Amino acid sequence: MPDRPYILLESRWKTVRSTDYDAAMLPWGAVEAHNLHLPHGTDVIQSEFIAAESARIAWDRGARVLVLPTVPFGVNTGQLAIRGDINMNPSTQLAVLRDVVESLAHQGFRKLVVLNGHGGNEFKPMIRELQPKFPKLFMCLVNWYQTVPLGIFFRDTGEHGSEMETSNLLVIAPELVLPLAEAGEGRLRPFRLEGLKSGTAWAPRDWLKATADTGIGNPAEASAEKGRKYLTAVSEKIGAFLIELAKADPDCLYEG
């Protein structure tokens, strides 16, 4: 395995104690079913890969970003009936994030990026709550799946166990992907209420009622080629932000 000094789990105290890190990055995923052909750890696998690749890009250009271990559990309150889907409530996530933030702030870190890979996780209110309590540690959020428009790379832009996620896994961990002939169509059953369908109102989905195979989005046209192009674009976009963040003075983030 090549030396990756930007990955905390692979780093040694000899190196960590002498490195002046510009920022830390905390990947966060979820454990949940992803259609019939992808592993339950899809969100964790993607987030770990994108975090590492983005940090590598930044590190190669002089930005010292430290990737923390990925938090595997996400908010899955609408999927409790699906065997193997593990829920971590938002209040628990806040407690976990607070402990990580407190550790980093105590050690003198000045910048933290939460890299989110699960749509059910909502970190904005948590960061809003924690920021004034730790004013010397700048915190920000990146939802990696929102950084690059899916339509550039994929015909079907579904959100879960979809063409995008299947293409990604065909690159990152192809041995964990079953043949596409075994995948479900990922058809979403929409709400009956027009207000919920149009976005006027919002309610959490009961996953087993909203989809027959736990997928949302048809993965039929997924390919490793699409995954490579998409993952490269996402990692380069986030890597560029990490480089910019590394150079920034957290006390001077506004123009004028």
The strand pairing partners of 139, in sequence order, are 112
Q: How far is the CA of 64 from the CAs of 4, 23, 27, 246, in angstroms?
A: 12, 7, 16, 7
Could you tell me the domains of the chain?
Answer: 8-247 (3.40.50.10310)
pLDDT digit string, tens, across residues 18-32? 999 999 999 999 999
pLDDT digit string, tens, across residues 133-171? 999 999 999 999 999 999 999 999 999 999 999 999 999
Residue 169 DSSP code: H
Q: pLDDT value at position 1?
A: 65
E strand intervals along 44-110: 65-67
pLDDT digit string, tens, across residues 37-66? 999 999 999 999 999 999 999 999 999 999
Single-letter amino acid, residue 53:
E
Joined tokens for residue 147: 């950084």
Residue 116, Ramachandran bin (φ over 0: left; ψ between -120 and 50: alpha; else beta): beta
d(CA 154, CA 243): 28
Calculate what percentage of the chain has a pLDDT beyond 90. Answer: 98
pLDDT digit string, tens, across residues 162-209? 999 999 999 999 999 999 999 999 999 999 999 999 999 999 999 999
Name the pLDDT band for 2 (thresholds 50, 70, 90). Answer: confident
**What pTM, to 2 d.p., does this model score?**
0.97
Name the pLDDT band for 233 (thresholds 50, 70, 90). Answer: very high
